[in-house]
Amino acid sequence: MEELNEDKSRKKTFFYAKGVTYFTKKTERNLFFILTLIMLVWGIFTKFGMF
Domain boundaries, the chain: 24-51
Q: What is the model's pLDDT at position 36?
A: 98
This prediction has a pTM of 0.64
Q: What is the model's pLDDT at position 35?
A: 98
How many Cβ atoms are within 10 Å of 13's Cβ, its own excluded? 13
- Confidence class for position 4, pLDDT limits 50, 70, 90: low
Q: Tell me the C-alpha distance between 18 and 50, whole Å.
A: 42
Q: What is the pLDDT of residues 24-49, one digit of tens each?
A: 999 999 999 999 999 999 999 999 99
Q: What is the model's pLDDT at position 1?
A: 47
Query: Contact, 23 vs 34, CB < 8 A?
Result: no
Could you give the 3-state DSSP secondary structure of residue 13?
coil
34 strand-pairing partners? none
